[in-house]
Amino acid sequence: MKAKTGIVLGVLLVALCSIGALVVLPWLQDRTVVTVVQETISRGELGIEFSFPSGEGAYSYIEPVLGTSTEGGPIGAFVMIKSDAYTDYLNAPASGEAPPAMSIFVFAESETATVNTGTTSPDRLTKIRTWAEANSGRTLYNLAMSTPEEVRIDGAKALHYKADGLYPNDVYVTFYKNKYYLIVGQYDGESDPQYTAFKDLVNSILFI
């Protein structure tokens, strides 16, 4: 059941890793000096800005061009994977599971979407929770290991929970200006430096 519930997110991450192969791998192979820089990504059309450590000694970055989705899929995706793990994944004889990643997915609110709350204008947190439940294949909401808690990201209300899966998942779901944001961090345990890196990524997010 766990594998089936999270299969959409897993397939999406593997697909995005493969999309980046032709661009990221040559860039890594051509560099001879291990460098790390703080990179800021700002996408006004998607309403988001964030920062992360980029380079051979840090993270590789994948941002496919997705356009407008008509089937409920993301209209924007940002994936960050440790550069050494990503290179190993791309050089493997046969592609398997993608390495743990830090990901941000952006979804447009459907004009025909309805929220069954008994009110015409559900509060923001109810709206987020209903969307997360309806999209559990992506949000891993059904695999939440405890009751999701209310937090804020750049002042916007969000749900935060940890979910089971191939890797432990730290998940945030929020809503801003007619867009849902799914923010997922995968790691090998809370002692993994990537756990701290993901917290820093979340703290850097600005909605613009």
pTM recorded for the entire structure: 0.82
Q: Residue 200 sits in a domain of what CATH number?
A: 3.40.1000.10
**Radius of gyration in angstroms for the set of CA atoms belonging to the chain, rounded to a whole number:** 17
> For residue 23, what pLDDT is reported?
43
Count how many domains the chain has.
Answer: 1
Domain that holds residue 201: 2-207
**How many residues are present in the chain?**
208
The residues, any chain, with a CB within 8 Å of residue 53's CB and separated by 6 or more, are 36, 37, 38, 39, 59, 197
CA gap 75, 107 in Å, rounded? 6
Give per-residue pLDDT as tens, 112-160: 454 454 545 679 999 999 999 999 989 999 999 989 999 999 999 999 9
